[in-house]
Amino acid sequence: MGIMRRAFYNRLKEGHPNVGAAYGYAAKNTRIRNGLEKDHAADARCTGGNPKSIPLDAIYIQKAAGKRNRQIHKAAINKGGKRKLNQSPKYAFDFQLFGRVQMPDGRKGFIFGRRSSGSFDVRTLDGAKLSAGISCKKLKPLEKRKATLTERSMRLLPHA
Same domain assignment for residues 142 and 84: yes
Same domain assignment for residues 33 and 50: yes
Does residue 136 belong to any structural domain of this protein? yes
Do 60 and 152 meet the contact criterion of CB atoms below 8 Å apart?
yes
Do 118 and 135 meet the contact criterion of CB atoms below 8 Å apart?
yes
Same domain assignment for residues 49 and 70: no
Same domain assignment for residues 71 and 134: yes
Same domain assignment for residues 76 and 146: yes
Same domain assignment for residues 128 and 150: yes
Same domain assignment for residues 139 and 78: yes
Number of domains in the chain: 2
Round to whole Å and give the CA distance between 158 and 96.
36
Does residue 160 belong to any structural domain of this protein? no
Global confidence as pTM = 0.65
HSE-CB of 66 using CA atoms within 13 angstroms: 4
- CATH number, domain of 81, equals 2.30.30.140
Positions of the chain with pLDDT under 70: 1, 68-69, 155-160
Does residue 79 belong to any structural domain of this protein? yes
Do 123 and 129 meet the contact criterion of CB atoms below 8 Å apart?
yes
pLDDT score of 1: 64
Same domain assignment for residues 66 and 24: no
Round to whole Å and give the CA distance between 22 and 46.
10
Cross-strand pairs, 153? 59
Do 39 and 51 meet the contact criterion of CB atoms below 8 Å apart?
no
Among 76, 111, 75, CA closest to 94: 111
Of 38, 55, 72, the residue that ends a domain is 55
Number of other residues whose CB lies within 10 A of the CB of residue 27? 18
Same domain assignment for residues 106 and 128: yes
Domain that holds residue 148: 62-154
